[in-house]
Amino acid sequence: MVERYYQELLNFLSRQLRDRDSAADLAQETYARVAAVRRSGEAIIEPRALLYRTARNLLVDRHRRRETRGENRSDHPGPLAPIEAMPAPAAFEPDQALDAARNAQAMLDTIAALPLRCREAFILHRFDGLSQAEVATQMGISIKMVERHVKLAMAACRQCRSAWEDEA
């Protein structure tokens, strides 16, 4: 388990803390706590999920300790700074949210307007994550035909996206 998830967990913590040394310390503490759970005999069904939940809890604990000690000030907003100190994402601006909704609807309309078999192949490949060979098998068509359907759908989506960009 350590070899499998350590680097991923360390990268996650580094992004959260913006400090590789502190992230390594928290990763070590995370693994120590998960090891304690293992030693207790409790079954761990999803070790990755337990690691991330434990790491997240340690991040929250660290933030609370810093708040109590007065180390987190509004003039030094960090990754765990109070929500009031963080700027709202641009997507929450009403105009941008409306534009995003319109663009998403235009893309859905474009996909809905595709021929039935083309739409089915595209959805199976791009949204359901099936390989082209799996789509071909499921639909009873050749891989080459799946490629054509996906290519046609992608061209329609690119054209739709170009139309939005031209309007903006």
d(CA 117, CA 115) in angstroms, rounded, equals 6
Under CATH, which architecture does the 90-167 domain have?
A: Orthogonal Bundle (1.10)
Distance separating alpha carbons of residues 149 and 156, to the nearest angstrom? 11
Say whether 100 sits in a helix, a strand or coil.
Answer: helix
Q: How far is residue 160 from each of residues 109, 119, 120, 155, 165, measured CA to CA in Å?
A: 10, 15, 19, 9, 9
Query: DSSP code of 127?
Result: I
What average pLDDT score do residues 25-38 get?
88
> How far apart are alpha carbons 26 and 137 in whole angstroms?
47
Nearest CA-CA partner of 164 in 90, 89, 97, 104: 104
Which parts of the chain fold into alpha helices (H)?
2-17, 20-39, 47-69, 94-112, 116-122, 132-139, 143-167
* Domain layout of the chain by residue ranges: 2-85, 90-167
pLDDT per residue as tens digits for the range 49-106: 888 889 899 988 888 888 887 755 544 445 555 555 555 555 556 777 778 788 889 9
* 117-159 pLDDT, tens digit each: 999 999 999 988 899 999 999 999 999 999 999 999 999 999 9
At residue 60, the 3 state secondary structure works out as helix
